[in-house]
Amino acid sequence: MRAAVIIPAYQAARSVGPVVAELVQIWPDADALFVIDDGSDDDTANAAQAAGAQVVQHPHNRGKGAALRTGLHTALAAGFDAAVVVDADGQHPPAEALRLRGCCADPAALVLGVRDLQAARAPRANQLSNGFSNLAVSGFAWQRLADTQCGLRRYPVEAVLALGTRDDGFAFEAEVLIRAVAAAIDIVQVPVRVIYPPEEERTTHFHVARDPARIVRRVLSTSAQTRLAWLRSRLRGRKR
């Protein structure tokens, strides 16, 4: 299995360089690190490239989902079977990303990192938001998913692109889980360690009130689409 690293980045000039530099030191494939600069107007692209990543730039900010989709297409074109997603803010230790790469031998599995937010001392608002999203997504997926918002994941590249995800924002990560379950993609859940810096050093573009609401809307629409597709397939099968 050849596994790339995809790092979606927006206004991450301060943090993306160290993340890339550490990954360069430990990742087996030297040409595997792709930073998707999602329309930053700071020095994100230069910092990532100087540290050793290949950089793809969006001309304007399109959202994390759009950046991930660009990264997956880039990895597929470069011949990679899987892609480990790592956030640009330093929350995901590169050693944990490497462990996720090798924890499951099946390149067709979607490997989902599961955080212990309480142990990581994540803000209370984040813990509540994550718990709410977990309940909602698990219910509509008909499968217990322990951490539906964790960005540290390993995607089977071609299979995920074939799911036809539509969301360009943070809801992409929930949408892809719903569609993966409907497509019978095996989801392997693995505990991961994450780092939450002190509040004054923390940078996030996730809004703990607005974005969970958008996630729920996307989950509802995606669930309706996948259930309708399932019903149509059953009806076609009966007609035969």
pLDDT of 136 over the 70 cut: yes
Question: What pLDDT score does 132 carry?
Answer: 78
> What CATH number has the domain bearing residue 203?
3.90.550.10
At 217, the pLDDT band (50, 70, 90 cuts) reads: confident
DSSP-H helix ranges across the chain? 16-26, 44-51, 64-77, 94-102, 124-141, 157-161, 172-182, 210-239
Question: What pLDDT score does 206 carry?
Answer: 60
More confident position, 178 or 50: 50
Write the pLDDT tens digit of every residue in 176-210: 999 999 899 999 999 999 988 655 455 565 655 56
DSSP symbol at 14: T
- Side-by-side strand order, sheet with 3-9: 54-58, 33-38, 3-9, 82-85, 153-156, 110-115, 187-192
Question: What pLDDT score does 135 carry?
Answer: 85
At 232, the pLDDT band (50, 70, 90 cuts) reads: low
**Mean pLDDT, range 128-136, rounded to an integer:** 80
Question: What pLDDT score does 208 carry?
Answer: 52
Q: Can you read off the two tokens belonging to residue 159?
A: 């299979």
Question: What pLDDT score does 146 carry?
Answer: 92
Question: What pLDDT score does 52 carry?
Answer: 97
Question: What pLDDT score does 140 carry?
Answer: 80
For 48, the domain range is 3-239
Concatenate the DSSP letters of all residues of 139-178 into one string: HHHTS--S-TT---EEEEHHHHHTT-----STTHHHHHHH
pTM, whole model, 2 decimals? 0.85
SS3 62: coil
Say if CB 58 and CB 26 are below 8 A apart: no
Question: What pLDDT score does 233 carry?
Answer: 55
SS3 25: helix
Amino acid found at 85: V
Amino acid found at 177: L
Amino acid found at 223: S
Question: What pLDDT score does 211 carry?
Answer: 63
**Mean pLDDT, range 215-235, rounded to an integer:** 63
Question: What pLDDT score does 199 carry?
Answer: 57
Count of domains for the chain: 1
For residue 228, how many C-alpha atoms fall within 13 Å in the half-sphere facing its CB?
Answer: 6
